[in-house]
Chain A
Amino acid sequence: MNGLARRAFLLAAAAAWPALARAQTLPAPAAPRPPAALKLQSFSLANGLRVLLAPRPGWPLVTVQLQLGLGSLLDPPAQAGLTQLFLDVLSRGVQRGRPGSGRVADGAEIAFTAESLGASLESQTQALAGSLSLSLAAPRLEETLALLADLVRRPTLPASGLERARQLMLENLRQTQADPATLAQALGRRLFWGESAAGRLATPASLNRIRRDDLLALQRSQLAPALSSLIVCGDFEPAALRPALEREFGGWRGAAQSGRQPPQVQPRPLVARSVYVDLPGAGQSAVQILAPYAGLAAVEELPAGLLAQAVLGQGYSSRLGREVRIKRGLSYGASSQVESLPGSGWLSAYAQTRHESAAEVARVMALEIQRLGEQAVEAEELAARRASWLGEQQRRLESTAGLAAALGEQLQQGLAPEALGRWGERLQAVDAAALQAFAARYWRGEALRRVVVGDLAAAGPALRALDPAAWIIPASELDLGSATLRRVSRRGRGAVEGRALPPG
């Protein structure tokens, strides 16, 4: 065996000898290939339902997404969580079979039916939309459309389903409170947006206020074809699909005119600049820095904003990844994300670290956010982060689920679906000066806010030194619905500083 291995090695080395010299330096890339054009068909049924078809023959997979005229921004102030609850209850009771046959499928049967088609029904609540989506093998597309149509056309919204869905959300909230990661993310939203519609979080109190009549009212006002869009991506023949679309969705009627549009939102932050929540015994500290970002109306600014976000916190090589993880070894990963809403938007930078490093991570992340407004990004870094953003977008559009989600986001934001293919040009137009101007406008030091959830005793005094006026709240006393974030009003910093705002 030894002889054979040695001989094989010698042969390989001899054959490769001229190549060995060449192989020592990095070869250059070839010429880029133009990305495949996006093939889209867009039309509306007579009842106003918008249909987007993106056929991509070859791999026998289809993703269907039905976007509804919902969204958590529409939740009434005292009933945060209504949209999420509604979407959950929607798949817990539906009339199936011939109209008038009276046969009702319950949640278990609906799930079993979808899963027998190979598809899992996913419902998602976002600020500007509520959606139902499924990915399935191509031969099951027509049956899946029939199921989806029944869900929105003939839901029974049963009271038992409401109770079940409510219990589930309450259990999830309890889990959230024990995990520094999920708790910090909820707190970040609450702190930054405060009393605006975007800052309302579902709480036990808000969920317990929701009655079945509230679901029925939401159904009457928002569940209408003219407020909805159906997106189908993948392996199907558009012409052959049209009759099924007409058959399943053509008869859908709804009170289209009464639909409400999401409100414009502006941050109405809580009084504190920093909130530190003590979770004794937690395994790590979760650190989040919040900052303003462009809203949807700022169309001209958004390319610069997206690129600034990519430089800051997308990928290992972003500023946050380099400074927090690679250089300092402080975290498994540091990243940021942005969301644009009607009226305004926000940036959230996030990392988990050992408690002793929480203050250091908070300090480094805040500095990196501000530095983008103070110093121009080098051309090489800008080109790299631009390529990175565009490449990720390209790969996302290559999957049926990614394409359906991206098309859905375009529609939610009121943008043309075809514009998805134009991000390359838009980002090419952003230079370092435009990026810096964007960051200088939005990411000034005084605009940043800070959340840390962890074992504060282990974190030590450095955290308090970052902001001596920080609210310090034991997790056991936390109430996300309150403007003071405290369950019981008691003497202390939180209660005193929070008194200016009405209770949530």
Chain B
Amino acid sequence: MAPLPVPALQPRTRRLANGLQLLSLPMAETATVAVQLFYRVGGKDDPPGRSGFAHLFEHLMFKGTRHMAAEQFDRLTEDVGGSNNAFTAEDMTVYHSQVPAHHLEPLLWAEAERMAHLQVDQAGLDSERAVVKEEFRQRVLADPYGRLFHAIPVYGYQQPGYRRPVIGNIEELDAATLADVQAFHADYYRPDNALLVVAGAFEPAQLDAWVDRYFGPIPAPARPVPRRPVQEPQRSRDELHRLAVPGLPQPAVLALWQGPRADAQEVPALQLAQAVLAQGEASRLNEALVHGPRLAQSCGFELMLNAEAGLLAAHAISSGRLRPEALLERLSREVQRLAEEPLPAAQLERARALLLTQALVEREGPEGRALAVGQAQLLRGEAQAAARDLERLQDVSGEAVQRALRRHVLQGARVGLLYLDAGSGAR
């Protein structure tokens, strides 16, 4: 078959005198423009005793500024036919909006406003804290398997930086004060800690002029951005844990190994391993655990690679046919088998095709394309990595896939978790 196309992504790059980085990607085939502000601050920067703070803060960024009323951001996006949202990850907080192209200038003004002049009062903090606590309950407590995925960093990491889940916990969310909010904004929300990405329908020279006008005057403080480097020690021994929760339809298991940083050379090889194991109906884990002997209802294998440390996480939700301890071993065994036994070429090609098509789907529109280059800049150190990793994916051999898995899975220690129903007598 003809080779699949790997489209280039060549963003224009600039850096303002105050340190703000700009990546921009003009696109002919859209009437929309995406504007994204990436701040280099995330869950790992939560202050001590304030787990969940970076994410709570993200919500507060939709409150008022010097010249904007609370929620005016919605007026400038949703109300004119656009959208806005934001997310907080371990290493970054990202504000992403889309608007019809002619609303680009007001949106840039508003992003600069909240970078420089955010104003939050006690009532705003309290109502948004209540919303975040409901978000915690919805994501973690209401879904019977919410606590399983919440447990991944808690059991996978050893140091506080990545060990504390980004969503935090109710007690520490309750502890947050207005003084914390002001200090956090001053520490991290500054031009030299931000990356602005614009993709879609815009005129490059006009964009540059607007960015100069609205972001140029924002001063970068003289003091450095506080950093909390994460140094995860090598894990030397296997561990096994149990977690019992109420109202569980079937048990589940989790197998965790230490993984590399997001910018490691072997990431494309591990992406292929992930796709071989867990992407699509015909993935190896599905064939071995779900379709054949029906040991699991569903299963997965994820790369959770952060800027300074990563995890490889496999999970399976039991069908009830096997004891959880045995299911954990079968799941782990399937991952190990990929490292040990020859990898059929057809399985590798299936994984390659799936990953490339997935990238085509994700990067079709302005929002996905902006996210791809922005995340590459923050996690891989250069925007060009977004397209280059896809090209490298085409050349990775089966042997390289196995080498990467041998290093992290066969030679690494495993943390196992048995996720059980508190009502069934198991502890």
Contact = CB atoms under 8 A, between A and B. Distances in A.
A328 interface: yes
Q: Which of A5, A8, A168 counts the most B-chain CB atoms under 10 A from its CB? A: A5
B47 interface: no
Nearest to A286: B142
A118 B213 contact: no
Contacts of B281: 107, 111, 115, 120-121
B217 A180 contact: no
B357 A395 contact: no
B62 to A, nearest CB: 8
A329 B127 contact: yes
B55 interface: no
A354 B134 contact: yes
Contacts of B134: 284, 329-332, 352-354
Nearest to B81: A391
B78 A137 contact: no
Contacts of B5: 60, 137-139
B319 A171 contact: yes
A12 B216 contact: yes
A476 to B, nearest CB: 11
Contacts of A8: 17-19, 220
Contact of A25 (B67, B138, B297, B346): B67
A9 B220 CA distance: 7
B106 interface: yes
A235 B192 CA distance: 40
Interface string B216-243: 1101101000000000000000000000
A399 interface: yes
Contacts of B146: 283
Contacts of B104: 30
Nearest to B127: A329
A111 B282 contact: yes
B81 A33 contact: no
Given A8-B19, A60-B5, A316-B71, A283 B100 contact: no
Contact of B105 (A27, A119, A174): A27
Interface stretch (B178-186, B302-310, B360-368): B360-368
B127 A5 contact: no
B74 interface: yes
B222 A5 contact: yes
Interface in B76-113: 76, 78-84, 98-106, 109-110, 112
A394 B137 contact: no
Interface in B1-45: 1-5, 7, 16-19, 28-32
Contacts of B101: 30, 33
26 contacts: A12-B219, A23-B214, A23-B217, A29-B80, A29-B105, A32-B102, A35-B31, A112-B346, A115-B279, A116-B346, A119-B357, A139-B4, A168-B297, A171-B297, A177-B249, A178-B248, A281-B247, A283-B137, A317-B74, A332-B135, A384-B79, A390-B81, A391-B82, A394-B100, A398-B32, A399-B364
Interface residues of A, number: 95
Interface in A3-59: 5-6, 8-9, 11-13, 15-17, 19-20, 22-33, 35-36, 56, 58-59
A316 B78 contact: yes
Contacts of B388: none
Given A108-B282, A115-B353, A137-B360, A329 B129 contact: yes
Contact of B128 (A108, A316, A329): A329
Given A135-B357, A395-B83, 20 more contacts: A9-B220, A9-B222, A12-B219, A15-B216, A29-B102, A29-B103, A33-B31, A61-B361, A61-B364, A108-B287, A112-B350, A115-B353, A115-B354, A119-B357, A178-B144, A332-B135, A353-B134, A388-B79, A392-B83, A395-B365
A450 interface: no
A327 interface: yes
A279 B134 CA distance: 18
B102 A31 contact: yes
B128 to A, nearest CB: 7
Contacts of B396: none
Interface in A386-430: 387-388, 390-392, 394-395, 398-401
B174 interface: no
Interface in A143-177: 143, 164, 167-168, 171, 174-175, 177
Contact of A330 (B29, B130, B217, B319): B130
Interface string A310-331: 0000011100000001111111
Contacts of A384: 75, 78-80
A373 to B, nearest CB: 23
B100 A32 contact: yes
A393 B138 CA distance: 28
Given A5-B222, A9-B18, A111-B280, A118 B357 contact: yes
Contacts of B121: none
A315 B62 CA distance: 14
Nearest to B130: A329
A175 B247 CA distance: 10
A279 B247 contact: yes
B386 to A, nearest CB: 15
B141 interface: yes
A2 interface: yes
Interface string A102-125: 000001100110011111110000
B142 A388 contact: no
Q: Which of B128, B282, B354 counts the most A-chain CB atoms under 10 A from its CB? A: B282
Nearest to A283: B141
